């Protein structure tokens, strides 16, 4: 349900619209001091203004665009109406010749005590004004056919008087409007002829109209019969257009009740209208924010659902793999101390385990210091516990070659240094010579001494050296 208040100079009406019906629930000639009973349920309404103080000015402005056009329109509006609050500018089109200027329609409501008094009362009654709609602009835009071109006279009741509104239609758009009130019904024909002539002369000077005067009478059938004498006035070509109802303000109110989305001609931004506008703006922002957050939450929910499905698949795969694993021995029956000792011994065994890295790394350090020696073979052996040995161990048999076979003295010195370096290398326990080719005679010792008269053969000398590894206990 929507409420519409019609404001005329001598007549004001409150209409209640809804469910395809429009009912006048209150009528008066001025704003009451206290809200009548019919106003008790009114919280917000739309104003339809039909005032003599509404001015229509058709202006021609240079054709510019963007901000320059807006600045030019604002400056021209200030020149025409100074500090008037209710001002509207509408572009009707461009001229067809010359500079092709823009045709702008400026409308304003200036000095209306009826409008100012009602706005003050509505503010006191805490009734929100959703906007102001101009009756002539609303009627020509939505209630009457747009194919008409020229001067049109609207005749309708206005309380005890009759309202004569002359509208000029150009290019399907309202270009001018003027209101006259006739209080004496017997003078209707005379007033129609006089006001029509005055309006035509003004428009002829402004728009350069042709000499042939044409006008359309739009009124209820009963009023058209009364205007028959005016239609026979000399020099006029009259066309009649019957209106379905005599209450033209009521038809405009019904239109606003059915089409609530129509933009107002004059926006009301004073007094109590600021707070609802702010509330609506904040609500709209909150709604947009809620929509964006809902989209984000939905996206996160889908991501979490996909992650949960992936974890479920991993859990199922782990369960299947656990089913095929051998059973783990139970620790039932063991004390924490026993379990701790077992883990300690297990760590020691892991540390004492001899791996190729633990052997090859110290050997590589030693051989890097003796570039003349070449490692040709490496054999792993396990020491067996004998009568003189206390425990088993690991050893490595190294096969090395040396190019100084022709120089026994030099060969003995290098062999002695190599064995000493192997024995002193961390991670190695001992080193001793097993075989040599050529064999070393008794006159040659590991200290580098050589017997008299001993000569070496040219070529490569080959040696096998046994290296014992450090056990875990020795390493600690």
pLDDT for res 357: 72
Please state, in angstroms and as integers, the Cα–Cα distance from residue 338 to each residue in 341, 343, 349, following that order: 5, 9, 16
Q: What pLDDT was estimated at residue 358? A: 73
Question: What's the mean pLDDT in 187-198?
Answer: 91
Note the helical H segments in 353-404.
356-369
Closest by Cα among 271, 232, 266 to 123 = 271
* Burial class (CB within 10 angstroms; exposed 0-12, middle 13-18, buried 19+) of 65: exposed
Indicate yes or no: pTM above 0.75. no
Tokens linked to 7:
């404001």
pLDDT grade for 8, boundaries at 50, 70 and 90: very high
Q: Which domains does the chain have, with CATH numbers?
A: 2-53+111-280 (no CATH), 354-475 (3.30.70)
Cα–Cα distance, 224 to 307 (Å, whole number): 79
Give per-residue pLDDT as tens, 41-57: 999 999 999 999 999 99
Rounded-to-integer distance, Cα 5 and Cα 249, Å: 9
Among 38-52, 275-289, 341-355, 438-452, whose mean pLDDT is lowest?
A: 438-452
**Per-residue pLDDT at 385 exceeds 70:** no
3 has a pLDDT exceeding 90: yes
pLDDT of residue 26: 93
Q: In 3D, which of 463, 452, 86, 456 has the Cα closest to residue 264?
A: 86
Rounded-to-integer distance, Cα 89 and Cα 74, Å: 9
Q: What's the whole-number mean pLDDT along residues 154-182?
A: 90
Alpha helices (H) along 245-335: 248-258, 274-323
Q: With 70 as the cut, is the pLDDT of residue 183 above it?
A: yes
């Amino acid at each position: 349900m929507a409420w519409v208040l019609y404001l005329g100079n001598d007549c004001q009406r409150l209409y209640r619209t809804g469910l395809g019906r429009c009912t006048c629930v209150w009528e008066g000639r001025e704003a009451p001091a206290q809200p009548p009973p019919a106003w008790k349920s009114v919280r917000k309404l739309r104003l339809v203004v039909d005032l003599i103080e509404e001015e229509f000015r058709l202006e021609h402005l240079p054709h510019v665009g963007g901000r320059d056009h807006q600045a030019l329109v604002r400056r021209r509006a200030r020149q025409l109406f100074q500090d008037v609050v209710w001002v509207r500018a509408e572009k009707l089109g461009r001229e067809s010749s010359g500079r092709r200027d823009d045709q702008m329609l400026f409308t304003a409501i200036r000095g209306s005590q009826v409008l100012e008094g009602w706005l003050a009362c509505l503010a006191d009654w805490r009734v929100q004004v959703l906007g102001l709609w101009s009756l002539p602009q609303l009627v020509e835009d939505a209630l009457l056919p747009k194919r008409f071109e020229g001067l049109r006279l609207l005749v309708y009741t206005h309380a005890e008087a009759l309202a004569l509104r002359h509208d000029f239609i150009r290019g399907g758009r309202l270009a001018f409007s003027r209101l006259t009130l006739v209080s004496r019904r017997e003078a209707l024909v005379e007033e129609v002829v006089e006001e029509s002539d005055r309006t035509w002369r003004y428009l002829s000077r402004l728009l350069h109209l042709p000499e042939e005067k044409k006008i359309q009478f739009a009124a209820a059938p009963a009023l058209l019969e009364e205007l028959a004498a005016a239609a026979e006035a000399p020099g006029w070509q009259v066309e009649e257009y019957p209106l379905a109802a005599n209450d033209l303000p009521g038809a405009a109110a019904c239109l606003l009740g059915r089409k609530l989305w129509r933009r107002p001609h004059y926006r009301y931004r004073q007094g109590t209208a600021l707070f609802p506008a702010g509330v609506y703006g904040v609500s709209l922002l909150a709604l947009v924010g809620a929509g964006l957050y809902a989209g984000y939450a939905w996206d996160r929910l889908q991501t979490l659902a996909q992650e949960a499905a992936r974890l479920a698949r991993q859990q199922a795969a782990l369960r299947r793999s656990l089913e095929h694993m051998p059973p783990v021995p139970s620790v039932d029956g063991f004390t924490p101390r026993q379990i701790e000792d077992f883990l300690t011994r297990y760590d020691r065994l892991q540390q004492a385990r001899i791996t190729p890295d633990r052997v090859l790394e110290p050997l590589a350090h030693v051989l890097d210091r003796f570039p003349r020696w070449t490692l040709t073979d490496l054999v792993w052996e396990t020491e067996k516990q004998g009568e003189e040995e206390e425990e088993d161990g690991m050893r490595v048999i190294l096969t090395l070659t040396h190019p100084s076979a022709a120089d026994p003295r030099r060969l003995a010195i290098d062999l002695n240094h190599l064995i000493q370096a192997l024995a002193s290398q961390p991670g190695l326990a001992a080193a001793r010579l097993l075989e040599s080719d050529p064999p070393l005679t008794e006159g040659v010792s590991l200290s580098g001494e050589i017997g008299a008269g001993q000569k070496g053969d040219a070529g490569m000398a080959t040696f096998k050296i046994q290296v014992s590894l450090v056990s875990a206990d020795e390493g600690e």
